[in-house]
């Protein structure tokens, strides 16, 4: 499924855990491993990096190491492309201030411009375990269809116990009806009607994908598009939350309208997989 995995590694306290999580996935997919470190190279830093790598029992002949200097986002994107990485793994980054959000950061640059599928591990463990609860935010696009099929193959390899497809939606007509209606019961009925109709649409959409090995669960949520699905995954303790990759946004005003991946990134509901 993924022939080459790239891991961004630093000298953080979670580096050893990240390596162990990555090695589990490398074995699962029978992939080549590329370790990427961005930073100044000297005798001290080189020794420190190899100590981390060797601490998990990884031998030099079993991975490629790319060591580069410069802007972290640009260098990670460049090296992943050059090495033909198709799954890029990193640890969760600290929350960013509003200024960094509007004017760019390593994480958001990678989210929009990296050509590899990206896995952000929220709380990597030195005793990694398989992902059993797969939660996906889906729509009716061709890209979403491809994401569902790829995620399903991943879930089968993991012997997953849950495969949940979440469709969150907002209907302007329903919003107008809610405003015009003075009855709480009428509002509830209208919302339930829209949710029921959306669920029937989802059933037809999913039926064409022939998902037979693990019975998918369909969940339709009315509310803030992009937000509800991540919140649902969080409340139900998902092991991995999967979304389509966002399209590149260049204008400042576009940053105000978040993609599902960005909602998820703001407050990680679980490990986050962004499919390309």
pLDDT in tens, 26-79: 999 999 999 999 999 999 999 999 999 999 999 999 999 999 999 888 999 999
- Cα distance between residue 158 and residue 203, in whole Å: 24
pLDDT band at 179 (very low <50, low <70, confident <90, very high): low
- Cα distance between residue 243 and residue 151, in whole Å: 10
Q: Looking at residues 143-152, what average pLDDT do you find?
A: 95
pLDDT band at 255 (very low <50, low <70, confident <90, very high): very low
| Cβ-Cβ contacts under 8 Å for 213 (sequence gap 6 or more) | 152, 156
| Cβ-Cβ contacts under 8 Å for 209 (sequence gap 6 or more) | 145, 148, 149, 152
Asked whether the predicted pLDDT for residue 81 surpasses 60, the reply is yes
Average pLDDT, the chain: 85
Contact 134, 273 (CB under 8 A): no
Asked whether the predicted pLDDT for residue 148 surpasses 70, the reply is yes
- Cα distance between residue 110 and residue 174, in whole Å: 36
pLDDT at 215: 95
- Domains annotated for the chain, with CATH where assigned, are 1-126 (3.40.50.620), 130-276 (3.40.50.620)
Asked whether the predicted pLDDT for residue 3 surpasses 60, the reply is yes
Least confident range from 139-143, 162-166, 229-233, 256-260: namely 256-260
Q: What percent of the chain has pLDDT over 70?
A: 81
Which of 6-20, 108-122, 159-173 is the most confident on average?
6-20
- Give the residue with greater pLDDT, 223 vs 242: 242
pLDDT at 185: 77
pLDDT at 175: 54
């Amino acid at each position: 499924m993924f022939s080459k995995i790239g891991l961004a590694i630093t000298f953080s306290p979670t580096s050893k855990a990240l390596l162990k999580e990555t090695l589990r996935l490398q074995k699962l997919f029978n992939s080549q491993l590329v370790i990427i470190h961005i930073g100044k190279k000297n005798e001290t830093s080189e020794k420190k990096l190899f100590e981390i790598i060797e601490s998990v029992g990884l031998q030099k002949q079993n991975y490629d190491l790319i060591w580069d200097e410069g802007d972290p986002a640009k260098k990670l994107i460049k090296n992943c492309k050059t090495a033909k990485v198709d799954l890029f793994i990193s640890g969760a980054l600290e929350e960013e201030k509003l200024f960094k959000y509007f004017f760019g950061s390593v994480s958001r640059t990678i989210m929009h411009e990296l050509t590899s599928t990206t896995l952000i591990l929220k709380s990597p463990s030195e005793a990694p375990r398989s992902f059993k609860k797969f939660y996906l935010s889906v729509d009716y696009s061709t890209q979403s269809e491809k994401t569902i099929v790829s995620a399903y193959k991943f879930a089968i390899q993991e012997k997953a116990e849950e495969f949940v497809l979440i469709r969150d939606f907002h209907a302007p007509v329903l919003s107008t009806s809610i405003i015009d209606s003075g009855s709480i019961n009428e509002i509830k009925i209208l919302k339930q009607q829209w949710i029921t109709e959306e669920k029937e649409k989802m059933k037809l959409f999913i039926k064409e994908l022939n998902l037979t090995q693990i019975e998918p669960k369909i969940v339709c949520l009315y509310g803030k598009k992009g937000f509800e699905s991540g919140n649902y995954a969080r409340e139900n303790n998902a092991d991995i939350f999967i979304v389509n990759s966002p399209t590149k946004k260049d204008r400042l005003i576009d940053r105000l309208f978040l993609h599902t991946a960005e909602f998820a990134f703001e407050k990680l509901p679980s490990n986050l997989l962004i499919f390309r």
